[in-house]
Amino acid sequence: MRGNGEGQKTNKPRPTKRPPESGPQKNEHGIIVATARRLTEFCSMVAHLFHTKTRDGSVHAEHYLQGLLSQLPRKNMERMGESIPEAKHENLQHFLSDSPWAAAGVWQWVGQRADQHLGGKSCSMLLMDESGQSKKGDQSAGVARQYNGRLGKLDNCQVGVYAALAHGSRATLVGARLFLPKEWIEDPDRCQKAGVPQAEMHFRTRLELAQELVAEAAANGLRFKWVGFDSFYGRDQGLLCQLEDQGHGVVADIPADMLLWESRPQAQKRPAPEKGGAQRVDKIAAGWRKQSTGKEVKLRTGENGPVAVRVRARLVWWWAKGQDEPRQWWLVVREEKDGTLKHTLCNASATTPVQELAHLQGQRHFIERSFEDGKSHLGMGQYQVRKWRAWQHHMALVGLAHLFVFEERVEHRLKTPRLSARDVVEMLDWYFRGQRSQHDVEQVIRTRHARRARLAAAAVRRAQKAPQKSPGKIPK
């Protein structure tokens, strides 16, 4: 990538390090140099996404991607500015928080590129899920006391809803939405301080954000036959109806207390399920387990050998509120090795084999693998920004990093089939960062201390300018 840079005009980025044509330590035919070259080519392909009317931020995008694809212990802008030789913290701060490049355009490019690998197949699936990131304070856009699925409890956190395109065991992120709780929507001043656009200042549930991501993926031309999600989304029968009416296949995990009928309800209008013969899903599944041993299905071969599950599947009926007719879908019950059961509704045709249903059900797992790679190796949760735009920009760049790692795994699928996100990051870190000299370390420390001194002085000036509060009366 090349450009005039973005941020302070006096701090023009120095030329980015490029893979050499050859060298005694970095053989041009080696996997590391080849991966580094492909990253350079990848950055050139996406450079246009970071052009604005007045600036070219592509060089900062390249620095940020190198940071995300490094082994920095904390992949935030300050650490990137210290460790990526050509990067400057101030420029990255402006690029992420204030530059008007469109995150939506990046996601569109990512999705369409991913579709070339994963779309248009009989099992291509758009996976939906949410992920939380713990935050301190109350100024980061969308932060609130809310459920953090990663921790399994209430937490002061931001929550994002994400989409991933998948086929088989391969998946990569293709979209993201930041959830704004009601307490934010009801406080316009707070939203304005965090840079939330006026168009976003209306409340939408996480289910509605998921619907937006499905519509966006379809509008961007992604060719998915199925939409898959966990029981938080699967419990909403209105969402299931809407997706089926739009022509999508649906693979939805459902809660154990959802009420279903094993035969078509004999009623002209929707009866109250608890009085109309419907039963809880877990009760139906328990009865099936007594009647049949089920069918063992091998899903894939993992690091610890074959991944096999025991599956039972039958057609059942469910009737959503406001609907004139009940719907007949598959109930797929998967029994884990520890005996626990997972329940999934699927609107596949009545002739679908049990093996195919089991594979569809198991495919939803791979958005969780995307989160794992993103948070463990690609800096997904290591941002230190507060503004709404900065969150959008960071996640779009994480989407690019995800896509690059995915394409590297595709590139090496024959010779190095076990290549992981960690492997790719380790190779690129060795190539682009290398070993720092004593002078480099000393300079980083001096720069860091100077920045902290500036921040401390600014804090003192703000405190001096702040109006003094009267002490008030001293209580007796």
Interatomic CA distance for residues 351 and 87, integer angstroms: 57
Q: Is the pLDDT of residue 10 over 60?
A: no
| Mean confidence (pLDDT) of the chain | 88
- Per mean pLDDT, which range of 125-139, 294-308, 398-412 is the poorest? 294-308
Both tokens assigned to 87: 């990067």
- Per mean pLDDT, which range of 131-135, 204-208, 236-240, 436-440 is the poorest? 436-440
Both tokens assigned to 136: 């301190």
C-beta atoms surrounding 29 within 10 Å: 7
Kindly give the interhelix angle for 388-411 and 421-432, rounded to the nearest 10 degrees: 100
DSSP state of 371: H
- Per mean pLDDT, which range of 13-22, 307-316, 341-350, 432-441 is the poorest? 13-22
* Distance from the first to the final alpha carbon of the chain: 69
Q: Is the pLDDT of residue 6 over 80?
A: no
Both tokens assigned to 240: 């299931």
126-140 burial: b if 16+ Cβ within 10 Å, else e: bbbbbbbbebeeeeb
DSSP state letters, 231-293: HHHHT-HHHHHHHHHTT-EEEEE--TT-EEBSS----SSPPPTTTTT-EEHHHHHHHHHHH--
Is 333 in contact with 285 (CB distance < 8 Å)? Answer: yes
Query: How many alpha carbons fall within 13 Å on the CB side of residue 246?
Result: 18
Q: Which residue is listed with tokens 């059900």? A: 361
Give tens-digit pLDDT for 115-141: 999 999 999 999 999 999 999 989 999
Q: What is the Cα Rg of the chain in Å? A: 26
Both tokens assigned to 219: 């509008």
Confidence of residue 407 (pLDDT cuts 50, 70, 90): very high
Interatomic CA distance for residues 156 and 183, integer angstroms: 13
Interatomic CA distance for residues 273 and 94, integer angstroms: 55
- E strand spans, 303-455: 305-318, 327-335, 341-346
DSSP state letters, 463-474: HHHSPPPP--PP
Reference 96, options 195, 190, 229; nearest CA is: 195
Interatomic CA distance for residues 382 and 298, integer angstroms: 36
Residue range 225-252: average pLDDT? 97
Burial degree of 149 (CB within 10 A; 0-12, 13-18, 19+): middle
Give tens-digit pLDDT for 50-72: 999 999 999 999 999 999 999 99
Q: What are phi and psi of 194, to 5 degrees?
A: -85, 5
Confidence of residue 448 (pLDDT cuts 50, 70, 90): low
Confidence of residue 414 (pLDDT cuts 50, 70, 90): confident
Confidence of residue 438 (pLDDT cuts 50, 70, 90): low
